[in-house]
Amino acid sequence: MQSQAYLRRCFPVLIALAAISAPAAAQLSLEDAVEQVQQEIQGRVLKAEEVTIGKKKLYRIKLLTRDGRVQVVKIPADENKESR
């Protein structure tokens, strides 16, 4: 019985510590995403916007490549994932 009371007192502290120590997903800014795409694909940015699909936030970047083609790149705002 005494151990249950101890756990009840410690549980909120343990939850708070877990929340603090959990690594948060690093958020990529739109400007950083544009810079990253420009480094990978040499071209002129025509449009860059933030798009939300469900709970996922993406950056949609439209480029005009050196050979005259239009290319659209989508980058998740969460840096840990990539989708192109």
CB 43 within 8 A of CB 64: yes
- Per residue in 26-80, pLDDT (tens digit) is 788 999 999 999 889 888 999 999 999 998 999 999 999 999 999 999 999 886 5
pTM of the entire structure?
Answer: 0.62
Instruction: Give the residue extent of every domain in the chain.
Output: 26-76
